[in-house]
């Protein structure tokens, strides 16, 4: 069942004045797609093609036209708190510059559920401990967030997103600072999150292995437009190669099996034809 419907979405940034929407310069144009409950949708594309902009527009953070519908609710007209209860968002950079404990960062994930000054419940704290253990940071729980490495900060933000039940997770390069093992670990956590919560995740990725082996759908963006969709389980390899070569130059994709016999798609760079 389709839970997320994006229709004719164009979005951009204020050009010169911050007071009107008439001078918005669009950097993504007429993007439409839908996503099923329990699925992970990857967004691929060259640097600057508009992946972050697409995520920010759906999160209602920047001016846009078109419609974003989640579970039959229009996200555009939703009060901020209600939107935060439905959508979790991890930006590329944490934006947290104050001294705050790791536990408190993760507890922020419950803010949309709490009234002003209402303290979190014991059950919420227990959930935070559990999720921090899942990302391997339970021994750092009282440490200052600022003293964590970039990868550990990224894990903390993921933990903040995973503590609460959101129908839509918008993740902007959540793997960029993570090592090889952790990249796979967080994608596995994401898969079980969307399945368990009947949610959907939209995730921008530069790691082709994660994209091809974990995402149900890949949106391929180029020069501000959606140029095609790939379904790694269904789309013929030649079709995937043709589409992704438009973004990355000539690439090839091989289908291999790991030692457990699990299918893995591997993308390789080929010499570009001139």
Ligand X SMILES: Nc1ncnc2c1ncn2[C@@H]1O[C@H](COP(=O)(O)OP(=O)(O)OP(=O)(O)O)[C@@H](O)[C@H]1O
Which position among 13, 129, 184, 248 is part of the footprint of ligand X (CB under 6 A)? 13
| CA dist., res. 4 & res. 140, Å (int) | 36
The answer to the question of residue 42 lying near ligand X (CB under 6 A) is: no
Block residue for tokens 């929407």: 21
Which position among 42, 50, 63, 228 is part of the footprint of ligand X (CB under 6 A)? 50
Comparison of 27 and 164: residue with beta carbon closer to ligand X: 27
Q: Do the beta carbons of residue 49 and residue 221 sit within 8 Å?
A: yes
The answer to the question of residue 51 lying near ligand X (CB under 6 A) is: yes
Stretch that binds ligand X, among 40-48, 67-75, 108-116, 134-142 (CB under 6 A): 40-48
Which position among 19, 22, 47, 72 is part of the footprint of ligand X (CB under 6 A)? 47
Stretch that binds ligand X, among 44-52, 104-112, 182-190, 238-246 (CB under 6 A): 44-52
CB of 91 to ligand X, least distance (A): 11
Which position among 26, 39, 53, 154 is part of the footprint of ligand X (CB under 6 A)? 53
| CA dist., res. 25 & res. 12, Å (int) | 5
| CA dist., res. 57 & res. 14, Å (int) | 13
- List residues binding ligand X (CB under 6 A): 13, 27, 45, 47-53
């Amino acid at each position: 069942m389709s839970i997320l419907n994006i229709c004719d979405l164009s979005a951009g940034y204020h050009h010169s004045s911050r007071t009107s929407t008439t001078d918005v310069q669009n950097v993504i144009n007429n993007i439409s797609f839908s996503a099923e409950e329990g699925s992970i949708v990857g967004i691929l594309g060259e640097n600057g093609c508009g992946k972050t902009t697409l995520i920010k527009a759906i999160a209602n953070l920047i001016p846009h036209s078109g419609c974003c519908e989640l579970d039959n609710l229009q996200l555009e007209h939703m009060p901020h708190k209600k939107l935060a209860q439905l959508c979790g968002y991890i930006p590329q950079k944490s934006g947290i510059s104050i001294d705050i404990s790791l536990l408190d960062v993760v507890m922020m994930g419950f803010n949309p559920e709490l009234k002003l000054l209402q303290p979190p419940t014991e059950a919420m704290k227990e959930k935070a401990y559990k999720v921090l253990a899942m990302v391997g940071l339970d021994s750092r729980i009282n440490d200052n967030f600022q003293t964590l490495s970039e990868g550990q900060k990224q894990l903390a933000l993921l933990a903040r997103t995973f503590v609460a039940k959101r129908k839509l997770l918008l993740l902007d390069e959540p793997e960029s600072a993570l090592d090889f093992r952790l990249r796979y670990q967080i994608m596995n956590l994401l898969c079980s999150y969307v399945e368990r919560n009947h949610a959907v995740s939209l995730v921008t990725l530069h790691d082709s292995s994660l994209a091809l082996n974990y995402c149900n759908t890949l949106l391929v963006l180029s020069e501000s437009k959606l140029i095609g969709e790939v379904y790694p389980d269904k789309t013929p390899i030649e079709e995937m190669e043709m589409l992704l070569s438009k973004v990355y130059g000539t690439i090839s994709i091989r289908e291999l099996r790991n030692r457990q016999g699990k299918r893995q798609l591997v993308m390789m760079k080929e010499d570009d034809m001139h």
